Amino acid sequence: VTAAGYEYNVDKYEFRLSGLLNYFKAKELTAEECERFLLFGGECNYLLHLGSDFHLHPVKEYGAGGWLTATKFLRDSPANWTDEDINDLLDVAEAAVNESVEDLQLRGRVIRKKRAIGLIPQANQVLTREALDDTVLRCQSQLQTMNHGTGPNVPFCAFNGGRDVWVDVGNKRVGVEVLGSYLGVDASEVLHIGDQFLNTGNDYAARDVCPCIWITSPEETTYILKTILRFAGANYAIDEHEKEEAKKILAGKIKTSSSNVDFGEVERRAQAVQEMDVFTGELLVRNNSLMKS
């Protein structure tokens, strides 16, 4: 479940996830294993699955087996949203973000997507954390005044993305709830792992529907996933070195000098950043070597 929302333009998601998808291909996952990988883009708006060709494909929305049809019974399912309610929310959010840009004299620009409003930095500029948080709080406050103080008619998430601000239609609570219902997985069997659990983050809402773990680094995520595999009965052992690394991670003392760094992958990702606008999803240069067929 990710905030990145490019509608159903699968090549843009693949560009962002090219390292993971190439890894799946290198491991020669079976068709059944590939089908288990799903991606919810835009918090809860665009559902995709991994095919046996190691490419992402949109999941059918309506009709028999459609994820929107199957989850319409859920109160906050995107199947129940109207275009009018969506645009009303986006109009208020856009006005609030523009107010922040003017009042705080921010060197940023406002963009509007089909189901999101974004504040992103101008070229070669940086928006401070305080300015980003202030914009988020302003958006949250003004959205809650809609409909005489009851808030908008559809769920939303206003959050500080670290370098930008986004106000999305929907949130990760809805994403987790809808995905769990569609797959027939009870909330007690779901674990949401995220790094943005403050009230200006976009993982906070997921706490309403399932257990969550607040992580602070990729190393901590790796340790948690390996632990889950062991608890699930997978034949995987954590060696003494990994145990010591885990203690340092949990103590906030992450040792990086002993990490095995794939410098080729680092270079590939650095090149990818130069060729895709991660804010808008615009592919500036298409380099086929980044996501091999």
Beta pairing class for 56-58 and 116-121:
unpaired
As a whole number, mean pLDDT of residues 284-288 equals 52
Residue 261 has pLDDT above 60, yes or no: no
Q: pLDDT at position 198, please?
A: 87
Nearest to 177 by CA among 264, 86, 79, 57: 79
Q: How far is CA 193 from CA 163, 196, 215, 220, 226, in A?
A: 21, 10, 7, 10, 13
Secondary structure of residue 74 in the 3-state scheme: coil
CA distance 98 to 264: 41
Q: Amino acid identity, residue 45? A: N
Question: What does the pLDDT look like over 117-129, one tens digit per residue?
Answer: 999 999 999 999 9
Question: What does the pLDDT look like over 137-161, one tens digit per residue?
Answer: 999 999 999 999 999 999 999 999 9
Question: What does the pLDDT look like over 26-55, one tens digit per residue?
Answer: 999 999 999 999 999 999 999 999 999 999
- The DSSP symbol for 59 reads P
Would you place residue 225 in the very low, low, confident or very high pLDDT band (cuts 50, 70, 90)? confident
Backbone angle region of 53, left / alpha / beta, with phi > 0 → left and psi within -120 to 50 → alpha = alpha
As a whole number, the mean pLDDT across the chain is: 86
Nearest to 117 by CA among 104, 125, 128, 108: 108
- Cβ within 8 Å of residue 259, ≥6 positions away: 219
Q: pLDDT at position 272, please?
A: 57
Q: pLDDT at position 256, please?
A: 44
Would you place residue 228 in the very low, low, confident or very high pLDDT band (cuts 50, 70, 90)? confident
Residue listed under structure tokens 């809402």: 205
The pTM of this model reads: 0.80
Beta pairing class for 46-50 and 38-41:
antiparallel
Nearest to 155 by CA among 137, 173, 180, 130: 173
Would you place residue 233 in the very low, low, confident or very high pLDDT band (cuts 50, 70, 90)? confident
Instruction: Kindly give the interhelix angle for 129-144 and 83-103, rounded to the nearest 10 degrees.
Output: 140
Q: In this structure, are residues 109 and 277 in contact, taking their beta carbons and an 8 Å threshold? A: no
CA distance 163 to 121: 7
Residue bearing the bigger pLDDT, 230 or 185: 185
Percentage of the chain lying above the pLDDT 70 cut: 80
CA distance 121 to 168: 18
Burial of 102 per CB tally in 10 Å (0-12, 13-18, 19+): exposed
Would you place residue 251 in the very low, low, confident or very high pLDDT band (cuts 50, 70, 90)? low
Token code pair at residue 68: 């929107």
Secondary structure of residue 109 in the 3-state scheme: strand
Per-residue 3-state assignment (H helix, E strand, C coil) for 167-228? EEECCHHHHHHHHHHHHCCCHHHCCEEECCCCCCCCCHHHHHCCCEEECCCHHHHHHHHHHH
The torsion angles phi and psi of 157, rounded to 5 degrees, stand at -145, 120
